[in-house]
Amino acid sequence: MTAADDEKFMTRALELSRRHTGLTGTNPSVGCVIVKDGEIVGEAVTAPGGRPHAEAQALAIAGDKARGATVYVTLEPCSHYGKTPPCANALVEAGVARVVTCLTDPDPRVSGRGLAILEEAGIIVENGLMEKEGRRALASYLMRQTKGRPYVTLKLAVSADGMLGRPGEEVAITGLLAKDEVHRLRAQADAILVGIGTVLADDPELTVRIPGMEDRSPTRIVLDRRLVLPLTSNLVRTAKDVPVIAVAGEPPLFSDDPDQAVIERREALRAAGVETLQCDPHDLELLLGALSTRGISSILVEGGAAVAKSFLNAGLVDRILLFQGIGTIDGNGLESPVVPSDIPDGFELVGEAAYGPDRAFEYERVS
């Protein structure tokens, strides 16, 4: 197998891995491709929900053809007895000859042990192929595993003159194609986060509304210190179908100095199916830690300007997706904290795309 073949099959494994981004919970979405005599004899991605793992499924497809084969897997095969037996052992038993991986698994139950099991069995192991791409595909999992917080994507839509809109007014910034892309981004995230101001101004539903993906709406989180989320809002109206978490302020709001009206609103929201989480919404680091503990690995921050600025100022944005429309706001606009000509320090442009007349810029934090 040549180096070009290796890249070709790992590219395929990465493509598979991206298919289930946002569907595997706290488990990484791993891609696996098994190749025998230059032909793919089995391939798979971690199943929705996180199990079965990719390798187990790909081995089942390959059957006897796995003997002597090369296996491309985007993450080190696991070595622990979790809810399924270790993938490393399954690869040994199947008699594969060579295993190529992008990176080691930071899960403390694995972290090198999977590769060691393979090597001890005489399998050729090559770790680190297309590591950068592998890290990108597994960014959410890696962030939660290593930093104990979700991976944060900030999405902004700006006018041609760099405005987010007009205060208190709903202004269309981008067209339908860009909207579809935003819905795809939502489907890949574990949660969407907005401030209460955005809910009061726009009454968004924040669900995924593209054909075939309607069931992929993530949890919706609202920073709502005093719990003023209206019971008649689209978020509350749909809370029994797609989870909503309202992040309320810390005591004394609720204990020493109980604010009866807030408590009553909290009870009414709970009865309507909204979960309330008590955590200072200004302490974003603490909030992200709490969300990570609940199994949320990735968040799409969708608005508004104040929330975007707080996440940027706290250094808690990992990726920025900036959509730019062709219309202008012309005065009295809300200035965006990020425009293509003024990117916050520490970010670099990694991608650019067009959605009809609109453009999208992707920036990643340089770590």
Cis peptide before 304 (omega within 30 of 0): yes
Position 298 contacts ligand AOF (CB under 6 A): no
User: What are 74's two structure tokens?
Assistant: 């985007």
Q: Number of residues interacting with ligand AOF: please give it, by CB under 6 A.
A: 19
Position 88 contacts Zn ion (CB under 5 A): no
CB 126 within 8 A of CB 76: no
Position 223 contacts ligand AOF (CB under 6 A): no
Of the residues 43, 55, 76, 302, only one is catalytic, namely 55
Q: Is 205 a catalytic residue?
A: no
Query: In the complex with ligand AOF, which residue's Cβ is closer, 107 or 224?
Result: 107
Least separation in angstroms between CB 29 and ligand AOF: 7
Among 14, 16, 102, 107, binds ligand AOF (CB under 6 A): 107
3 state SS of 319: strand
Position 50 contacts ligand AOF (CB under 6 A): yes
Among 6, 43, 55, 190, binds ligand AOF (CB under 6 A): 55
CB 357 within 8 A of CB 189: no
Least separation in angstroms between CB 79 and Zn ion: 8
- Please provide the distance, in angstroms rounded to a whole number, between the alpha carbons at the two ends of the chain: 34
Least separation in angstroms between CB 293 and Zn ion: 23
Query: In the complex with ligand AOF, which residue's Cβ is closer, 6 or 76?
Result: 76
Position 190 contacts ligand AOF (CB under 6 A): no
Site for ligand AOF in 63-82 (CB under 6 A): 75, 77-78, 82
Other CB atoms within 10 Å distance of the CB of residue 185 = 18
12: exposed, middle or buried (C-beta count within 10 Å: 0-12, 13-18, 19+)?
middle
- Say which entry of ligand AOF, Zn ion, none residue 28 contacts (CB below 5 to 8 A, set by partner kind): ligand AOF
- Per-residue mark of binding to Zn ion, 39-78 (x: CB under 5 A): --------------x------------------------x
Half-sphere exposure of 211 (CA within 13 A, CB side): 0
Strand ranges for the chain from DSSP E: 31-36, 39-45, 70-73, 98-101, 124-127, 151-158, 163-165, 191-195, 219-223, 244-248, 275-278, 298-303, 319-324, 334-335, 347-355, 358-365
User: What are 21's two structure tokens?
Assistant: 């981004």
CA distances from 114 to 24, 41, 46, 94, 178 (A): 20, 22, 17, 15, 41
Among 28, 165, 303, 333, binds ligand AOF (CB under 6 A): 28
Position 43 contacts ligand AOF (CB under 6 A): no
Least separation in angstroms between CB 39 and ligand AOF: 22
Query: In the complex with Zn ion, which residue's Cβ is closer, 88 or 360?
Result: 88
Q: Taking CB positions, which residue lies at the least distance from ligand AOF?
A: 82
Other CB atoms within 10 Å distance of the CB of residue 297 = 27
Q: Which residue has the tokens 């520490």?
A: 346
Among 33, 87, 157, 248, binds Zn ion (CB under 5 A): 87
Task: Report the C-alpha dihedral over residues 335, 196, 292, 182, rounded to 10 degrees.
Answer: -60
Q: Which residues of the shown chain bind ligand AOF in the complex (CB under 6 A)?
A: 27-28, 30, 46, 50-51, 53-55, 75, 77-78, 82-84, 87, 105, 107, 110
Question: Which residues are catalytic, by number?
Answer: 55
